[in-house]
Chain A
Amino acid sequence: AQSVTQLDSQVPVFEEAPVELRCNYSSSVSVYLFWYVQYPNQGLQLLLKYLSGSTLVKGINGFEAEFNKSQTSFHLRKPSVHISDTAEYFCAVPGAGSYQLTFGKGTKLSVIP
Chain B
Amino acid sequence: GAGVSQSPSNKVTEKGKDVELRCDPISGHTALYWYRQRLGQGLEFLIYFQGNSAPDKSGLPSDRFSAERTGESVSTLTIQRTQQEDSAVYLCASSLGPGGGTEAFFGQGTRLTVV
Q: Which residue of B lies closest to A2 (CB)?
A: B100
Query: Which chain A residues lie closer than 8 Å to B31 at the CB level?
Result: 99
Contacting pair A44 B100 (CB below 8 A): no
Contacting pair A99 B43 (CB below 8 A): no
- Scoring A46, A100, A104 by chain B CB atoms within 10 A of each residue's CB, the highest score goes to A100
Contacting pair B100 A30 (CB below 8 A): yes
CA distance in complex: A29, B4 (Å): 29
Contacting pair B42 A43 (CB below 8 A): no
Q: Which residue of B lies closest to A105 (CB)?
A: B42
Contacting pair A43 B109 (CB below 8 A): yes
Contacting pair A43 B101 (CB below 8 A): no
State the main secondary structure of chain B at its contact with A. loop
Query: Which chain B residues lie closer than 8 Å to A46 at the CB level?
Result: 103-105
Tell me if B70 counts as interface (CB < 8 A to partner A): no
Size of interface on A: residues with Cβ below 8 Å to B: 28
Tell me if B62 counts as interface (CB < 8 A to partner A): no
CA distance in complex: A103, B93 (Å): 13
Residues 46-83 of A, flagged 1 when their CB comes within 8 A of B and 0 if not, give: 10010100000000000000000000000000000000
How many residues of B sit at the interface, in one of the four size bands?
A: 20 to 34
Least distance between A55 CB and chain B CB atoms (Å): 16
Q: Which residue of B lies closest to A93 (CB)?
A: B100
Name the one of B98, B103, B107 contacting A99, with C-beta atoms under 8 angstroms: B98
Tell me if B65 counts as interface (CB < 8 A to partner A): no
- Scoring B48, B99, B101 by chain A CB atoms within 10 A of each residue's CB, the highest score goes to B101
Contacting pair A42 B108 (CB below 8 A): yes
Q: Chain A residues in contact with chain B, CB under 8 A?
A: 6, 9, 29-30, 32, 34, 36, 41-46, 49, 51, 90, 94-95, 97-106
Across the A-B interface, the 3 shortest Cβ-Cβ residue pairs = A94-B100, A43-B106, A105-B42
Known: A100-B45, A101-B45, A103-B35. 20 other contacts (CB 8 A): A36-B106, A43-B4, A43-B91, A43-B106, A43-B108, A45-B106, A46-B103, A46-B104, A51-B101, A97-B48, A97-B98, A99-B31, A99-B98, A99-B100, A99-B102, A100-B48, A101-B33, A101-B104, A102-B45, A105-B40
